[in-house]
A and B are shown apart, each in its own frame.
Chain A
Amino acid sequence: MTAFYGTEIASPLMLGTAQYPSPAVLAEAFRRSGAGVATVSLRREAAGGGGAGFWDLIRGLGIPVLPNTAGCHSVREAVTTAHMAREIFGTDWIKLEVIGHEDTLQPDPFGLVEAARILCNDGFRVFPYTTEDGILGGRLLEAGCEVLMPWGAPIGTGLGLNNVYGLRTLRAQFPDVPMVIDAGLGRPSHAAQAMEMGFDAVLLNTAVARAGDPAAMAEGFARALEAGRLAHSADPMEPRDMAAPSTPMLGLAVLE
């Protein structure tokens, strides 16, 4: 199992905690999938609000927590949010999002690198939500990141791996860097594809939480991830254009 900043996770499934029909369904999805990481956020709290109940639920999962800076559009917002998250969740892990466009939720590459450098220098262990761009990936590594989290497709779309060539190139460019496909996955087959390509984990939320049966879908993703990982380690055959018979021709009866 790949280690992220020295921590091995029990499963390559990093699962979000938003949009579930109920806390009970959320807990069941985590239980059935055996997810290795739970992603969380920080939001405004009214006096006497219910944040404590959610935190107790997450702590009860017994797995590492990865807070995010979701919704932050500027470096300052993201850095301040990261500091607040570090205090409240008691972890220096941060899923760094610096959003560049409201409709596509595409990362702002310039702000992302700047925020990553600030946070890495301040002792954070940064998981940057990035694109498949290899130059950007290199800049993030130079800034101190030891993990890259390229998107599969825009957040919440469920489109799968939109740019397979770009992702394959990024994987090949930095073969020793732990990489997580973050966002855009809709079906377990997308997760299996990512693992077959040599990615180390996936991070998803909507595909599970918005399924008709979130717990069953979470388990489906977990099984697909395992299948994909096994396939990658088994050195898959190369595809070819022309047919090749699998049944030996030797000994074929002559019947005409």
Chain B
Amino acid sequence: MKITVNGTPADIAATDLGAALEELGYGKARVATAVNETFVPAAARAAQALSEGDRLEILAPKQGG
């Protein structure tokens, strides 16, 4: 399934967000996620189905002012 991850095209086998994070190599990383511009809490990732063309954002703590 072709989706977009942080603005870059990706081809994944996973069909839900939790599995997709594992497949993409994020494992237990401290990240927050959004699908199609909507926040998906960590506890809801396994139940969040992904579809062709979905836009996934994976964010982490960074420097800020």
Interface bits A16-48 vs B (CB < 8 Å: 1, else 0): 111110000010000000000001111111111
B39 touching A80, Cβ below 8 Å: yes
Query: B30: which A residues are within 8 A, CB to CB?
Result: 51-52, 55, 88
| A89-B63 CB under 8 A given contacts A47-B26, A51-B30 | no
Tell me if B13 counts as interface (CB < 8 A to partner A).
no
Say how far A152's CB is from chain B's closest CB, in angstroms: 13
A67 touching B64, Cβ below 8 Å: yes
Tell me if B24 counts as interface (CB < 8 A to partner A).
yes
Interface bits B8-27 vs A (CB < 8 Å: 1, else 0): 00000000000000001110
B64 touching A88, Cβ below 8 Å: no
Query: B49: which A residues are within 8 A, CB to CB?
Result: none
Query: B64: which A residues are within 8 A, CB to CB?
Result: 16-18, 39-42, 67-68, 70, 205
| B63 touches which of A17, A77, A80, A155 (Cβ 8 Å) | A17
A87 touching B41, Cβ below 8 Å: yes
Interface size class of B (residues with CB under 8 A): 20 to 34
B7 touching A44, Cβ below 8 Å: yes
Query: A68: which B residues are within 8 A, CB to CB?
Result: 64-65
B65 touching A18, Cβ below 8 Å: yes
Within 8 A of B (CB), among A76-127: 76-77, 80-81, 83-85, 87-89
A18 touching B32, Cβ below 8 Å: no
Query: B59: which A residues are within 8 A, CB to CB?
Result: 42-45, 81, 84, 88
A80 touching B34, Cβ below 8 Å: yes
Q: Measured between alpha carbons, how far is A88 from B39 in the docked complex, in Å?
A: 12
Query: B42: which A residues are within 8 A, CB to CB?
Result: 87
B58 touching A39, Cβ below 8 Å: no
Interface residues of B (CB under 8 A from A): 6-7, 24-26, 29-34, 37-39, 41-42, 57-65
**Given A44-B57, A51-B60, A85-B32, 15 new contacts (CB under 8 A):** A17-B64, A19-B65, A39-B64, A39-B65, A41-B63, A43-B59, A44-B6, A45-B26, A45-B58, A49-B60, A76-B37, A83-B32, A84-B39, A87-B32, A206-B65
14 contacts between A and B (CB under 8 A): A18-B63, A19-B63, A40-B61, A40-B63, A41-B64, A43-B62, A45-B60, A48-B25, A49-B29, A52-B60, A54-B61, A88-B32, A88-B61, A204-B65
